[in-house]
Amino acid sequence: MTSASDLDRVGMIVLRYMRRPLFALLFVYSVGIMGMALMPGLAVDGEATHMNLFHAFYFFTYTATTTGFGELPSGFSDEQRLWAIFCLYTGAIAWFYAIGSLVGLVQNPHFIQAMDGVGFARRVKRNDEPFIILCGFGDAGSLLARGLSDHHMRAVILDSNPERIKALGVRDYTVAMPGLCADASAPKHLLAAGVEHPACRALVTLTNDDDTNLKIAVMARHLNPRLQVICRSTSAHHETHLQALDNVTVVDPFEIFAQLLYWAIARSELHNLNAWFVGARGVELGAPIQVPQGDWVLCGYGRMGHRIHRCLQGHGVGVRIIDPDVDTEVVGECTVLVQAQADHSALDAVGIEDAAGVITAMNRDSDNLNTLLSVMALNPEAFRIVRQNSHENQVAFDAARADLVLQHSLTTARRILKLLISPLIQELIDWLAQCEPTHTQELVTRLQAAVGAKPAHLWLVRLIPGEAPAVTEYLDAGGAMALGVLCRNACSFPERLPCEALAVRRAGQSIMLPDKDFSLEIDDKVLFCGIHWAEPMLQATLHNPYTLRYIVTGVDEPRGYVFAWIEERLGRRRGEYESNDRRPRP
Amino acid sequence: MNFERVVFGFFVILTLSLNYAFVAGDAGATANHNVWILTFAIIVNLVAIGLKLGDRSQIGALLLASGLVAGFLLITARVVWIVAESGDGGGPALVEMTDIMSIARGALIANIVATVILVGDTLLSRR
């Protein structure tokens, strides 16, 4: 289909380019070969011999390509030599012309683009591993690709900027990530990227333009209605459009940013847990950042500032705003407002001395860093939260020693990664955000007991015959399996493996924080969090029926028929003498 | 301690030892190789195979496979011995003896594999 039409296009370009050189070669060859056959050769027995057509072709072949073996198959007459000179020059020129045209064709940008398109479509088509289509390879896109690569998830990348696609070529991803420089909103490029491919899991649109994102999402919905679409959108207008489509998840970077900011300020234990789950640098579980109470100074009231203000105000946190272009009516009356650049005098006017902290949320990194310096000078005690816009400025933000740096491309990429890799974890976080903080603290205590100071390792277990044969067999046979039993450590029975079940997904319903008596069923999906080596241990239990039986009963059951038979006989005899059950052997 | 492991380990390692006892020494000399040892090795090996029947774990399947390979090769060696002996009753000739020895050495490899798997599994299960 698409690849065939692209291939046709490539074939057509080649033919059109090579038509004249090929005709030139054909003409020169015909003239040269016929002339050579007609030229009288050396006389044998007084009669002039002639080269036959095959020999003439042979001669011309090695002459035109300037190989030049000499006078083969026999010595030439002078007439033949004259013609040979003619053949050499015309033939060689025709060859150079043909080769030059071919080289020109290979360097032709349209041809290169068409070839890239064909190669890309072929690579996507041949891939049968699950993959994700990523439209837009900016800051958030490349961070997401890095995250996917860490989880060994393939991605197909579309971006209209050739520099970004070139940069993609030099990344050291763990899996193949084919990229194409193309406009992702054109349906044929989406088709080439595999939007209808059976292994395609989701499509993520991360371009900076909301219109393009909307267009891609709509196209993808039409091309493959079953495909999950995750769409970046920053405008409320587009969001209402997108919400109307099913299977489309809208991700608003500013909304996520505002939410994270609110958690950091008012729900620090949840912020700490979330950061630990996503593996943020320097985060220790159970050691949330200490944030002072009081009013916050918000520098910058653009789209981002607007969301932050709304979010904080909605949760009862006082906000004072500094922005040169802010409209008094939009903000409302109960808020302190300074219409100026966020410099010394403005910070002074807004009362930085008695504020709990400052949030610099302007869309220029230099402004944010500059404001930080002023805040340091005026109130070194103030808690400093800063928005980082560009990933390139990482080092400067590290050096600025702000209390919390939030980079919206990173937070967006992490949120999307969670949605793609383990949607349950995001559900859990959202659930915890709705609940009382004690739930979060309880979970943190449990995780600390299980994992200690190690980094978080999350994995999903599906209780289906392909992934957990021992457990499904056991459940099919009528056995009951509690979550706490499954997590026992077969190496040191009956201790627990260092892992905690966070959530169970059953028949479209999510059960958050199941306790150890929770009874598992076939087709459950269980999200675990624990130490890295707990996963292979649990895998062994899930696969090996003997290990599973051992962690349930604490008894090593006989494996072969012979010992099973002996055990049965012994058991029966023991049953005759003693009426009680078989005692578990240590 | 698991009694089944003791018994199975006993038979697997005994097969290996008997197999080595049979192949040790100069391949050509009939006097170096005792046909009784070969016969015992076959019997012990068959017992080890029997003990592994019914094990549904992956390691059990691998042990059963290596046991079957060793048994097949040892029985082949014994059959060649019988065929070679039938002529004059004076034991196999040099040529046949070389064949028997190469087959029995192949069986030794299978037995070594079985023992390595057994030991490795026991070490890895850390109970």
* Domain assignment present for A121: no
Token pair of A510 as six digits? 């999510």
Sign of dihedral through CA atoms A373, A375, A380, A386?
A: negative
Q: Which residues contact A32 (CB under 8 A, 6 or more apart)?
A: A56, A60, A63, A64, A83, A86, A87, A90, A91
* Domain assignment present for A575: no
Q: What is the pLDDT of residues A232-243, one digit of tens each?
A: 888 888 888 888
End-to-end CA separation in angstroms for chain B: 9
User: Do residue A302 and residue A390 come from a single domain?
Assistant: yes
DSSP letters along B69-110, please?
A: HHHHHHHHHHHHHHHHHTTTSS---HHHHHHHHHHHHHHHHH
- Spatial distance between the Cα atoms of B23 and B108, rounded to a whole number of angstroms: 8
Closest-CA residue of B relative to A556 is B2
> What CATH number does residue A69 fall under?
1.10.287.70
- Spatial distance between the Cα atoms of A194 and A196, rounded to a whole number of angstroms: 5
Residue B73 burial by Cβ neighbours in a 10 Å radius (0-12, 13-18, 19+)? buried
Helix axes A253-266, A303-314, angle to 10 degrees: 40
Q: pTM for the full model?
A: 0.71
User: Do residue A242 and residue A268 come from a single domain?
Assistant: no
- Contact call for A560 and B53, based on CB within 8 A: yes
* Domain assignment present for A506: yes
User: Do residue A87 and residue A153 come from a single domain?
Assistant: no
User: Do residue A277 and residue A394 come from a single domain?
Assistant: yes
- Contact call for B60 and A561, based on CB within 8 A: no
Token pair of A332 as six digits? 């409302």
- Contact call for A558 and B8, based on CB within 8 A: no
- Contact call for B53 and A544, based on CB within 8 A: no
End-to-end CA separation in angstroms for chain A: 66
Chain A contact present for B102, CB below 8 A: no
User: Do residue A88 and residue A153 come from a single domain?
Assistant: no
- Contact call for B57 and A562, based on CB within 8 A: no
User: Do residue A229 and residue A273 come from a single domain?
Assistant: no
> What CATH number does residue A344 fall under?
3.40.50.720
**Residues of A in Cβ contact (< 8 Å) with B7:** 563
Q: What is the pLDDT of residues A110-147, one digit of tens each?
A: 888 888 888 888 888 888 888 999 998 888 888 899 88
DSSP class of A333: T
- Spatial distance between the Cα atoms of B68 and B79, rounded to a whole number of angstroms: 16
Q: How many CB pairs under 8 A join A and B?
A: 42
Q: How far is B97 from chain A (nearest CA, A)?
A: 36
Chain A contact present for B57, CB below 8 A: yes
Interface confidence, given as ipTM, is 0.74
Mean confidence (pLDDT) of chain A: 84
Q: What is the pLDDT of residues A532-580, one digit of tens each?
A: 888 888 888 888 888 888 888 888 888 888 888 888 888 888 776 655 4
Report whether pLDDT(A8) > 80. Answer: no
User: Do residue A162 and residue A89 come from a single domain?
Assistant: no
Q: What is the pLDDT of residues B64-89, one digit of tens each?
A: 999 999 999 999 999 998 888 766 66
Q: What is the pLDDT of residues A440-459, one digit of tens each?
A: 888 888 888 888 888 888 88
User: Do residue A399 and residue A289 come from a single domain?
Assistant: yes
Which residue type is seen at A350? Answer: V
Least confident of A468-472, A482-486, B83-87: B83-87
Closest-CA residue of B relative to A544 is B57
Average the pLDDT over A5-23 and give the result.
78
- Contact call for A561 and B56, based on CB within 8 A: no
User: Do residue A96 and residue A136 come from a single domain?
Assistant: no
Alpha carbon A272 to chain centroid, angstroms: 24
* Domain assignment present for A444: no
Chain A contact present for B8, CB below 8 A: yes
Domain of residue A385: give its range: 262-420
Domains of chain B, first to last: 3-125 (1.20.120)
**Residues of A in Cβ contact (< 8 Å) with B2:** 556
DSSP letters along A297-321, please?
A: EEE--SHHHHHHHHHHHHTT--EEE
Closest-CA residue of B relative to A546 is B57
Structure confidence at residue A288 (pLDDT): 83
Please, are residues B17 and B107 in contact by the beta-carbon 8 Å criterion? no
Closest-CA residue of B relative to A559 is B55
* Domain assignment present for A479: yes
Collapsing DSSP states into helix, strand and coil, what is residue A519? Answer: strand
* Domain assignment present for A461: yes
Q: How many CA atoms lie within 13 A of A417 on its CB side?
A: 25
Among the three residues A251, A278, A308, which one is the final residue of a domain in this structure? A251
Average the pLDDT over A21-41 and give the result.
89
User: Do residue A233 and residue A276 come from a single domain?
Assistant: no
Helix (H) or strand (E) holding A495: none
Helix (H) or strand (E) holding A370: helix A365-378
| Domain tally, chain A | 4
* Domain assignment present for A446: no
- Spatial distance between the Cα atoms of A322 and A296, rounded to a whole number of angstroms: 11
DSSP letters along A207-250, please?
A: -S-HHHHHHHHHHHHHH-TTSEEEEE---HHHHHHHHTSTTEEE
Residue B35 burial by Cβ neighbours in a 10 Å radius (0-12, 13-18, 19+)? middle
DSSP class of A393: G
Residue A491's nearest CA partner among A526, A540, A563, A559 is: A540
* Domain assignment present for A467: yes
User: Do residue A143 and residue A93 come from a single domain?
Assistant: no
Neighbour-count burial for A365-383, b at 16+ CB within 10 Å, e otherwise: bebbbbbbebbeeebeebb
Please, are residues A170 and A100 in contact by the beta-carbon 8 Å criterion? no
User: Do residue A204 and residue A313 come from a single domain?
Assistant: no
Chain A contact present for B53, CB below 8 A: yes
Collapsing DSSP states into helix, strand and coil, what is residue A484? Answer: helix
Taken as a whole, chain A contains a residue count of 586
Report whether pLDDT(A368) > 80. Answer: yes
**Residues of A in Cβ contact (< 8 Å) with B56:** 545-546, 559
Place of tokens 């059990």: B60
